[in-house]
Amino acid sequence: MIEILDYELPKRKNKYANGYMPKIQYHNERLQEALNREIIDIEEVERYVSSLNYFVARQKEVYGRLEQLYS
């Protein structure tokens, strides 16, 4: 016999209340630091660029407000 339990799932809080902006700002700052070093680690730069590309795309996809990136 299969018993079906009917209960409400807890409502999720918005994990990204400010969108992805804090993550975009964080990775942008790390990228700038990596580029300003005397010896540039290409793998580190690529990692931050990849993260930035991902979070900017998510911001655009989820929130559709890229203009806030440039304010």
Q: Is residue 65 part of a domain?
A: yes
Q: Is residue 1 part of a domain?
A: no
Q: Is residue 62 part of a domain?
A: yes
Q: Is residue 5 part of a domain?
A: no
Q: State the total domains in the chain.
A: 1
- The chain-wide mean pLDDT, for the chain, equals 82
Q: Is residue 46 part of a domain?
A: yes
> In terms of pTM, does the model score above 0.75?
no
Q: Is residue 15 part of a domain?
A: no
Nearest one of 13, 10, 25 to 56, comparing CA atoms: 25
* Other CB atoms within 10 Å distance of the CB of residue 48: 19
Q: Is residue 32 part of a domain?
A: yes
Domain span at 66: 21-70
Q: Is residue 11 part of a domain?
A: no
Read off the pLDDT of residues 34-60 as tens digits, 9 standing for 90 and up.
Answer: 999 999 999 999 999 999 999 999 888
Distance CA(21)–CA(30), nearest Å, equals 14
